[in-house]
Amino acid sequence: MYYIHAEDKLMRAARWVEQFDGGVERLKAILLDNELGICADLEREMGKLIGSYADEWKTVVNDPARRRQFRHFVNADGRHPQTEAITERGQEHPADWPKRLPPF
């Protein structure tokens, strides 16, 4: 959470830590030793963030109307006959592309 508040937008975490004034040791002091006295606030924010999480794909899978939006063709319920489905560990997925494709 501290990274979210302190980083520049679109900056990678590793680069941010490298450029952070005081480096990793300063971060340890802030986050582990509560040097700034903000750890309780950060914990509260993290709990709020975790509590607000919703799996968007689970929502789609559990809603038949939304699931119908993800199909091969909008105007037909069938599958494309050239699509080979492979069942692996009880789940269907499309077959891998062939190593060599036939010429046109």
The size of the chain, in residues, is 104
The model's pTM is 0.55
Which tops the pLDDT comparison, 18 or 102? Answer: 18
pLDDT at 89: 93
Structure tokens at 62: 């559990």
**What's the mean pLDDT in 87-91?**
92
Question: Per residue in 7-66, pLDDT tens?
Answer: 888 889 899 999 999 999 999 999 999 999 999 999 999 999 999 999 999 999 999 999
Residue 69 has pLDDT above 90, yes or no: no
Structure tokens at 56: 């968007």
Supply the DSSP symbol for 73.
B
